[in-house]
Amino acid sequence: MENYNHLNLVPGKKYKVIKEFTDFDRQLHPVGETWLFVGTNFLPYDDGLTLHVNKDGKNIAYRLRWLDSDQGYIIDNFKKLFVEPC
């Protein structure tokens, strides 16, 4: 996995959701959800940004789309508004 850390998170660090958000697959991430950040992948041909985490011992990929009509605002403000280290 190439790691383009567009979200400015630290690989290997645990993060907690502080503002609920919904990813591209319409999965809700509620306040209090925690996971270990692994990395990101960016797919330029469809503006896709995949967030790779380890949650409860399982590697999981959360897909986001970097368009204003999708999760662009979330990506642009991820570390500032949506998650914090824990």
Residues 19 and 82: beta-carbon distance below 8 Å = yes
pLDDT recorded at residue 46? 84
Domains of the chain and CATH, by start: 14-80 (2.30.30.350)
For residue 11, count other CB atoms closer than 10 A to its CB: 12
- With residues binned 3-state (H G I as helix, E B as strand, rest as coil), the percentages for the chain, rounded to 5, are 15, 45, 40
Q: What is the pLDDT of residue 5?
A: 62
- Both tokens of 50, joined, read 């995949």
**pTM of the predicted model as reported, rounded to 2 decimal places:** 0.87
Q: Digits of tens for pLDDT over the chain (86 positions)? A: 444 466 889 999 999 999 999 999 999 999 999 999 999 988 877 888 999 999 999 999 999 999 888 999 999 999 999 999 99
Alpha helices in the chain (DSSP H): 72-76
Q: What is the pLDDT of residue 3?
A: 46
